[in-house]
Chain A
Amino acid sequence: MINEDRVILMTKMASYEEHEAKENMAIGRYFRSDYIAIQVLKAVISVTIAFAVIFAIFLFYDFEKYMQDIYEMDILSFAKNILKYYIVAVVVYAGICYGVCTYRYIKARKSLKLYYQNLKKLDKMYTE
């Protein structure tokens, strides 16, 4: 005979496996600190590339002016200013990324915990 409860549970779990499980399992493989560290590192690399692109456009925007003033301008203080903006950008973006990743990790672990509970429940249904 078909066990309706078992079929319902299996359908729900199959749907979960199809949609969210892959992503959540990929997150759940890591320890919390490892996952967040990797994501923050990726964020730092991303923000560095983005900053470089924006800086290049910024330079090209006033290219003629910089070429005229290059011997008169204080390059060290200019570099310090750019570095300051870069650090602010990295800190702000990494901070946002830290918050988002922590939230995602907690959510994924909770969801996986429920999934494993359902697996146990299903196993119990078969042994009964």
Chain B
Amino acid sequence: MTELLEIRDRIKGIFASYEVFILPVVKFLLGLVCFGMLNSKLGYMTRINNIAVVLILALLCSFLPPVGMVLLAALISLLHLYALSLEAAIIGFAVYLVMFLLFFRFAPKDSVAVILTPITCALGLPCIVPISAGLLGGPSSAVSVGCGVMVYILLHGITQSAPTINGMEDSEATAKVRLVVDSLLGNKQMIVMIAAFAITVIVAYLVRRMAIDYSWTIAIIAGALVDIIILLVGDLMYDTNISFLSIIISSLLGALIGKLVEFFRFGLDYNRTEKVQFEDDEYYYYVKAVPKLSVVGGEKTVKRINTAKSRKRTRYEDDYYDRGRGTYVGRYEEDDEYYDDAYEDDEY
């Protein structure tokens, strides 16, 4: 455990020192994955479906705030939908606009959750994000995760309907709109997933805020269980065709990531909990103090080769003139011992 804590502190130290470089690199990689997946899953507009565009956009994202990545991703997906059919692009734009107006204004800071949720859903690991969102964010993160699910279902539905849309005549605009809208609204999977993820986020958030021992661990387990149960019950009730294996694996992965988040963000030592009680004029205070898990870094010892007498000293502010000895005296520390060091200053 001590070694793990040392590694954690070292990683935190590296991140604190090189944050200016690490954050843009992480954003660049996230952008690369996001735009790469959009191009590989949709890819209807050949002009933007190439690695150069993806690299330029990812590079742009490394300097923009996270919400910039959301806007760019929305723009790229709309361009692909436009290349497929104008009607699909209009519906896509309408869904994004409604999401932006109604939901996104409540959780503008959770842009990363909006990006990560569709990515994990497309990878077949949908339950990874909600637990971490509940641990790191607030109840409003449920909105961001829900928006992410909606985006995934919209794009997935359009991808599934693409061959049919391609086969339709230009005059069949209403039929195309109906097809796209049905793929979104008639999708029970979307409702079950949004409900499951929103409840998971809220449960994880509420439990981790409780004043109980191991609250974060309990929140992770409770979140994972709630997620699995709601998705399975939803599958039984509405026949959503969500893979049982992917639910279990992604929930376990989500719990594992949650534990990592806890280790880096929270990490308390409950064995050394202290309960104190005191009072002032107005209140009695029952305080429970839980110390953070920490490790004292190994002290660096510097071995001095030259002896104290032969050392050349220069005068410091706290050195004083000893009239008895007729010299300046300074104090220095060596091997936890203090020594008075008499010396003659060059200037005096």
- The digit string for B80-122, where 1 denotes a CB below 8 A from any CB of A, is 0000000000010010011001100110000000000000000
User: Is there a chain B Cβ closer than 8 Å to A41's Cβ?
Assistant: no
Establish whether residues B97 and A50, one from each chain, have CB atoms under 8 Å apart when the complex forms.
Answer: yes
Decide if the interface of chain A is mainly helix, strand, loop or mixed. Answer: helix
Q: Are B174 and A57 in contact (CB under 8 A)?
A: no
Q: Is B177 part of the binding interface, using a Cβ–Cβ cutoff of 8 Å? A: yes
Chain A min CB distance to B278 (Å): 22
Query: B178 contacts the other chain (Cβ, under 8 Å)?
Result: yes
- B177 and A50 within 8 A (CB): no
Beta-carbon contacts under 8 Å, A47-89 to B: 47, 49-50, 53-54, 56-57, 60-61, 63-64
Q: Are B101 and A57 in contact (CB under 8 A)?
A: no
Contact of B101 among A46, A63, A64 (CB under 8 A): A46
Check if A50 sits within 8 Å of B178, measured CB to CB: no
User: A42 to B101, alpha carbons, bound, how many Å?
Assistant: 10
Residues of B at the A interface (CB closer than 8 Å) are: 91, 94, 97-98, 101-102, 105-106, 174, 177-178, 181
Q: B181, A53: Cβ atoms under 8 Å?
A: no
Which residues on A sit within 8 Å (CB–CB) of B105? Answer: 42, 46
Q: By the criterion CB–CB under 8 Å, are B102 and A60 in contact? A: no
| Selected contact of B178 from candidates A53, A61, A100, CB within 8 Å | A61
A-B Cβ contacts below 8 A, count: 32
User: Whole-angstrom distance between the alpha carbons of A42 and B100 in the complex?
Assistant: 13
B98 in contact with A50 (CB, 8 Å): yes
**How many A residues are at the interface, by size bracket?**
10 to 19
Q: Closest B-chain residue to A96, C-beta based?
A: B106
Q: B98: which A residues are within 8 A, CB to CB?
A: 50, 53-54
Asked if A93 CB lies within 8 Å of chain B CBs, one says yes
Q: In the complex, are the beta carbons of B94 and A57 less than 8 A apart?
A: yes
- Given A46-B102, A46-B105: A60 touches B177 (CB 8 Å cut-off): yes
Contact A93-B102, Cβ < 8 Å, known A57-B181, A61-B177: yes
A47 partner residues in chain B, CB cutoff 8 A: 101-102
| B138 CB to nearest A CB, Å | 10
- Interface contact B97-A57, CB-CB below 8 Å: no
| 16 residue pairs from A and B, CB less than 8 Å apart | A42-B105, A46-B102, A47-B101, A50-B98, A50-B101, A50-B102, A54-B98, A56-B94, A57-B94, A57-B181, A60-B177, A61-B177, A63-B174, A64-B174, A93-B102, A100-B106
CB closest chain-B residue, reference A48: B101
Minimum CB–CB distance from A36 to chain B (whole Å) comes to: 15
Leading 4 A-B pairs by shortest Cβ distance: A46-B101, A50-B98, A50-B101, A53-B94
- Which residues from chain A contact B178 at a C-beta distance below 8 Å? 61
**Can you name 7 extra interface pairs (CB under 8 A) apart from A50-B101, A54-B94?**
A50-B102, A56-B94, A57-B177, A60-B177, A61-B181, A63-B174, A64-B174
In the complex, what distance in Å separates the CA atom of A54 from the CA atom of B101?
A: 12
Cα-based distance from A114 to B285 in the complex (angstroms): 20
Which residues of the partner chain A approach B102 to less than 8 Å between Cβ atoms?
46-47, 50, 93
Q: How far is the CB of B193 from chain A (nearest CB, A)?
A: 21
Chain A positions within 8 Å of B94 at CB level: 53-54, 56-57
Chain B minimum-CB-distance residue to A63? B174
* Distance of B171 from chain A, by nearest CB (Å): 12
Given known A-B contacts A47-B102, A50-B102, A100-B106, A60 and B174 have beta carbons under 8 A apart: yes
Within 8 A of B (CB), among A20-60: 42, 46-47, 49-50, 53-54, 56-57, 60
Residue pair A49, B101 in contact (C-beta under 8 Å): yes
Q: How far is the CB of B119 from chain A (nearest CB, A)?
A: 26
CA distance in complex: A61, B87 (Å)? 11
**Mask: chain A, 82-106; 1 = CB below 8 Å from B; 0 = not:** 0000000000010000001000000
The interface residues of chain B lying within 8 Å CB-to-CB of A64 are: 174
Contacts of B174 in A (CB 8 A): 60-61, 63-64
Bound-state Cα–Cα, A45 to B174, Å: 28
**In the complex, A57→B95 CA distance in Å?**
10
Assembled-state Cα–Cα distance A54/B91 (Å): 10
**Which residues on the B side are within 8 Å of A93 (C-beta)?**
102
